[in-house]
Structure 1
């Protein structure tokens, strides 16, 4: 009986760790639940139940040695590479290629791995994306470099503020303030010309596109709690970005910006 208990506990640990990695790195709620159930089923557990929200995971296994576990999710980011790797491990488990111990070891390595790209590369990518969004939205090539600098500065300050301020929305508000102020400074010095397009392109890396997509997909899959909560988080993020830009524009409106 102790051997069965230990085995059930280890299976629950593998399922929870897989779900935790996926949820923390941008996986949809329904995908997390499906992966956990499939992993448990592959290890011979036919009566496993999972309940996933953006802030926690509850996993239960019925049977003589019933196991119920809860994991709290406090930090969420976007690293779809980790989600993809967990899916690959789940498929190997379903095909019988991994034992419980091997699967848990691989998942621990993924959970402890550093982000796929260094911070400087993310800032550079955000800067390039901002400048490209400027062109996509009909901006002039003369504003390419100013938007490149605004987008990079906004994203780097977002990371910096989030390290010192645990409230995500406040960090996004401050980052949008930096973007708006920098764009206005470029306009006043003659380095930039179209303030609106410079700001629109620069804030695009801050827009919660993946969060909005996951919210809609969760709602369509019937996960209304997760869908509504993710939608509310996306709305607050958009509101923080818009409020920061609106503050800059209202502050300098008396000087005839345009």
Structure 2
């Protein structure tokens, strides 16, 4: 397939948009690079080059003198969007999707609100907190304290992120609230094991996907992305520990 220069630029825009959506929603670095390369190959650009970090994507293609950059400002977890971009890339590789259609569908997907409502997230976090408590050999009597503390802490973390752009502070305050509620439940004899209540309640805040992606990227040789994601996961863990430590300083 022969491609003219304007067409190459349009293909690069589609590749960058697909990579941006995936990276913003929790995809691994190698998956983002592989998807962009497959999309470019599906439209006739056999040799493309990308450099992906958690905060930006650089992409270039043979036949074009320009190199394009996309800045990643926000990162969250929505694996449904990652799956949908993967599905689009397969359609492109099979020649079933035109360039214009692909760009339109990606723009729609970029702005789509596919995440679950906050009520569902908080309810899931609360149930998970109680289940984690039992998994860590806590007592059934502490299930409800962990349920309420975990739900309140997760709600605090999600709600404060709208006003505090630095995640460290929202996560630290969420852990602080969890610690206070655990202390309250134990001091009023509603709960028994304060440590188990706290451990179960903070688990929904633990950056499991970040840790997994950091290890996966390091194993694949993406050292910059792996180390930066690992550092972000460490900061989240440090924020959780800081909030709990402040509560323990009251004892």
Q: Please give the range of the TM-score, normalised by the shorter of the 2 chains.
A: over 0.9
> What residue in structure 2 maps to residue 158 of structure 1?
157
Q: CA deviation at 1:190?
A: 1.5
- Deviations along 1:186-233, one digit per CA (max 9) or x if unpaired, are 111121111000000000000000000000000000000000011111
**Corresponding residue for 2:6?**
6
| Structure 1 residue 68 displacement after superposition | 1.3
Match in the other structure for 2:65: 66
How many residues are paired up?
A: 249
Counterpart in the other structure of 1:175:
174
Matched residues in 2 for 1:164 and 1:139: separation?
35
1:33-52 paired onto structure 2 within 5 Å: 33-52=33-52
Aligned-CA RMSD value: 1.0
- 2:74 is aligned to 75
Where does residue 20 of structure 1 map in the other structure? 20
User: Secondary structure, in 3 states, of the residue corresponding to 1:193?
Assistant: coil
**Aligned residue number for residue 189 of structure 2:** 190
Structure 2 CA distance, aligned partners of 1:103 and 1:160?
A: 34
- The answer for unaligned runs of 5 or more in structure 2 is none
Within a 5 Å distance, the mapping from 1:207-218 to structure 2 comes to 207-218=206-217
8 Å contact 1:8–1:67 — kept in the other structure?
Answer: no
CA distance in 2, matches of 1:58, 1:204: 35
Unmatched segments (≥5 aa) in structure 1: 253-258
**Distance across 1 between alignment mates of 2:191 and 2:16:** 50
Aligned to 1:256: none
Counterpart in the other structure of 1:137: 136
Aligned residue in 2 for 1:116? 115
| Aligned-partner Cα distance in 2 for 1:126–1:14 | 36
Deviation at 1:97, TM superposition (A): 0.5
Scaled by the length of structure 1, the TM-score of the pair is: 0.94
- In 2, the alpha carbon distance for the partners of 1:34 and 1:10 equals 19
Runs of 4+ in 1 over 2 A off after TM superposition: none
Q: Give yes or no for contact 1:217–1:227 (8 Å, CA) kept in 2.
A: yes
Report if the CA contact (8 A) 1:12-1:67 is conserved: no
Distance in structure 1 (CA, Å) of the matches to 2:186 and 2:132: 18
Matched with 1:32 is 32
Shift of residue 240 of structure 1?
0.7
Q: Distance in 1 between matches of 2:15 and 2:37?
A: 8
SS at match of 2:137: coil
